[in-house]
Structures are given as C-alpha cells and as structure tokens.
Structure 1
Amino acid sequence: MTQYRITKHSPEQRAGATPSWTSFSDIGESFGGEQLTEAAYAETEEGYLSAIRQFAAVQGVTALKVDGLEMYPESSWWQRVSEGDSLSLYEAIELSRSILHEDFVWCRLFAGSEFFVHFGYDFYMYVGVSNPAEGIVASIRRAGLYVDEFESPYAT
C-alpha cells in the first residue's frame, strides 16, 4: 500500500518559520499579515475533500467504513453514525468535512485493504491506496496542497 500525507502547510510552515492557520475556528484571524476568510478556508477544505474523491475514484471505492469513532453529543453527527458503519462516498465526504471543521467528531475511514483516509491535527490528512496514483498527486499539488509519501501515524 502506498501512503501519502496531504497538508496545506508548506515545508517552511511545518518547520515553524512562518505562521499558518490550523483550524476552522481560525477564520477571521490574521496569519503572516493576511486574514483568513471563510472563502479561503472553504477553498482549502475543498482541496482536501477533492483529494479524497480523486483517490477513491481511482481505487473504485464507493463506500467507506467508520473505524475508531470518537464523537461527543455536541457533534452534528451524534446518533447518525456508529463504529463500523458503511457510508456512501458522499456521506464519508460530509463526515470528513465535519472532522476538518472540528465538529466534535473524529474517525478513520477505510475500504478493505484498498483505501483509507486518516485525519491528524492541524490539517494533516493521510491517505493509503493499493495502487499508486501519481496523476492524482500532481492534481492535488496543482490545487495548492503538499503531498508526500508518508506512513500514517494513525494506522492500526
């Protein structure tokens, strides 16, 4: 399995040399002299969700299972999803959006040994695919995200 780390953070930001936002709650704050707007946040978030869609499409994945679910009653997903549930790709994308929004929910998503998506802190996402997908990696980079081969620290 080939695994990738996907992040909005440049190597300089990862090294702590330049400030960068790390959360949905940072909207309205300034980083490096620029205010994070809702539109800028949404564009970045869509890059992450598009990456999931693209990798899933190449792997032929149409549904993902929920693993390691952590949820609080404040979550909009409360009582809608449970450990082990199989979600359509659309539902998995919406759950991923909630995870990125820090909506009191976290989990890993997977489709057998073919595909997984894991979320880390501060807008780090990890994707594993059974077939390397260099064309998708290039597409994600063109969208402004950074992609490296990297083993997920959330693998079970």
Structure 2
Amino acid sequence: MDGLLISRYADKERSGALNTWTGYEDIGHVFCGKTLTADEYYRVEDRYVDFGRDLFSRFEVEKLQVRALTIGEPLPSWLGFLRAGVVLSRETSLLLVRQMLRYGNPSCSLVSPEGLSLSVATDMYLSVEVPGELSVLEELVDRSALRRDIETIELPDSADGTIDNRADSSFWESVRSATLKGEVAVLVCWGNGRWGQQWHLVGDGTVECLADVISPGMAVVAMVGARIEWCPRATIIDRISEQIGDEASVVVFNRPVVGTELSFELFLGGIVLQDMESLPSGGELGWIEYPAGTEDGRALCVVQADSSGDLVCRWDSDLNLVW
C-alpha cells in the first residue's frame, strides 16, 4: 500500500547534502550559520500538528486507536495510562502527535475506523496513509508548506504467528492452581519497551486482584512452569551467571510491599557487566529468566479481548506488539 512520508525537509536536507536540524533537542545549535531558536522550532512543529488537524477534519475522523505502541521512557502524567488498543479523541491524538514530534516517546500509529493511519517517525517525519486516492492527501500536504515523498507501507494483514489465546476464566483458574505450589511471576504488557510492561508476583488469594485490572489488548504471561529464585542481593549476579550464564535475558525484582506489582529491572542483554547499582533495592532479590517465547512449557500467554470477544491488539510469541 502506498502512503506519504511527510517532512519539513527540502531535497538537499533530506539527502544529507545540507546540514539541518531534525528535532527539539537541536534548539540553540547552529545550522548553516543560523541558530535554531525555540520560536522557530515551535513554528515548524505547529505546521505538523496543523497538518494533522486538517487531515482528521478532511476525512471526518473523530476517534483514533493507538497501535504499535512503544514506550521507552516514563510518560508525562497528562497522557494517563496510555496502552495499545485504547481509543483517543481527535484533540488528544493531536496532543500525542506533538509529544512524539518533540520527544520521540512514546512511538505509535494512530488509526481511524475508516482506515486512515498517522505515525511519527525518527527526525520529524510523518508517515500517513489514507483510504482511496492519494491526491487528496497530496493537496493537504502542499497547503501545509510541508514536503512529501511516496512510500510503500507494509501492513500486517495476517494474524499468523500471533497469540490467539484469550485471558478467560480458564486461564486465570490455571494461574490460581499454579499458586497452590508457590508464588507465580506474571508479566503484563500494554506496549513494547521497558515502560510498556509490569511484572507482578501473585499467590493464592491475589490472582483476582490482578485479573480485575487487565484491560483489552494487554498481553499476560504467567510463568507457571518457572521457578522464582530468591537470594541475597550481594550474591545474585554470581548466582544468575552460574545458573543461566551472563548473556541470557533476565528479570530481577524485589518483593512487593503492598499489592502484586514488583519493582524490577529487565536485562535483555544478560547480567554481564552489570553492577550492584543497576539492581532493584532490597536485601533479598528474586530473578527469573525472561520469557523469550511462549512455547517452552514455562509460560501461559494470553491476550485480553474486548467486550465482544475481539482482540484489539496482536502480540507475537516473543511478546512484541505487532499491531
């Protein structure tokens, strides 16, 4: 499918032949003998957001769903609990576009029921596709004083290879049964990235507390076949290295004080070269090998459906949010 890649860059700037600024962090820096001021940056940023507003108005878009969400850093409080699959108003979507342009976090696509899609790529590029002919979209770009390129957009049009199991009553009953043998670590994901997930420690009597807060689109991984290892903080790095090696992905956490949420650190590249300061606080810490797939017998992996039984998000077996 063809869409448009939209930016402020002229041909020489886009090709790299002419040095130019590419984002908010460049304010105060000099490009081609001219300092980028905050006023100039905000003026250009407004052009992008105004284009989005015109785009939504032209196609009569009032609601957009968050897809392919990645959260690399903590989000500002005004965004609330942003998760994949949630539906935003037009104005909130425009605020999110501004956030992504300025800070690059989060990253997502905004998709309307009519098939319009808008996402912010690196270096202040907008990737846009619309139903029907591109001529209407090209007209909006030209009017905005931005520039455009045709790009081919590959959309995931198949659910093959994604998790299809639902977080139904039988799943939670399986988790509850597993807690009779000991505590179970449960991973809840609502987006890609470190800040799009939360680990929980559930035991007999606390499973329902977690089940009640799972929203549509979330992936839930219950490590029913994996044993949680607990050991003193001073020895945990050596213990992990001895048992699974230095390079296996691992999650390290402490015991929750209240509720089920764990304070955790995720080491996707393994525990190699890590020091004590990188670990969570606490005298006794637990760890578990990160579930790099759901077909090894250690995990039950499901996705929470919406009220009609549909999956508003798709996750693959490596817990990557596909859409």
2:7 corresponds to which residue? 7
1:102 corresponds to which residue? 103
* Superposition TM-score, scaled by structure 1 size: 0.87
1:75 maps to a residue whose letter is L
2:149 corresponds to which residue? 148
Taking the TM superposition and a 5 Å limit, the aligned residue runs for 1:98-137 are 98-102=99-103, 104-132=105-133, 134=135, 137=138
* CA deviation after TM superposition for structure 1 residue 51, in Å: 1.5
Secondary structure of the 1:101 match is: helix
- 104-113 vs 14-23, greater mean Cα deviation: 104-113
Change (3 A) 1:71 1:145: same
1:32 corresponds to which residue? 32
Runs of at least 4 residues of structure 1 off by over 4 A?
Answer: none
- Unaligned 5+ segments in structure 2 are 157-323
What number of residue pairs does the alignment pair up? 155
Instruction: Name the CA distance, whole Å, in 2 between partners of 1:2 and 1:51.
Output: 19
1:47 corresponds to which residue? 47
Taking the TM superposition and a 5 Å limit, the aligned residue runs for 1:45-84 are 45-76=45-76, 79-84=80-85
Instruction: Name the CA distance, whole Å, in 2 between partners of 1:42 and 1:119.
Output: 16
Identity level (%):
24
Secondary structure of the 2:28 match is: coil
Secondary structure of the 1:61 match is: coil
- Unaligned 5+ segments in structure 1 are none
Residue pair 2:72, 2:105 contacting (<8 A) in 1 also: yes
Change (3 A) 1:99 1:131: same
- 66-75 vs 23-32, greater mean Cα deviation: 66-75
Residue pair 2:55, 2:140 contacting (<8 A) in 1 also: no
Residue pair 1:109, 1:117 contacting (<8 A) in 2 also: yes
1:92 aligns to 2:93 (yes or no): yes
1:47 maps to a residue whose letter is R
Cα deviations by residue, 1:33-64 (Å, 9 ceiling, x for unpaired): 11111111111111111111112112111111
Instruction: Name the CA distance, whole Å, in 2 between partners of 1:73 and 1:11.
Output: 33
- 79-88 vs 127-136, greater mean Cα deviation: 127-136
The structure carrying a bigger helix percent of its residues is 1
- 138-147 vs 15-24, greater mean Cα deviation: 138-147
* Superposition TM-score, scaled by structure 2 size: 0.44
Q: Give the root-mean-square deviation of aligned CA atoms.
A: 2.1
1:101 maps to a residue whose letter is R
* CA deviation after TM superposition for structure 1 residue 131, in Å: 3.2
Residue pair 2:65, 2:110 contacting (<8 A) in 1 also: yes
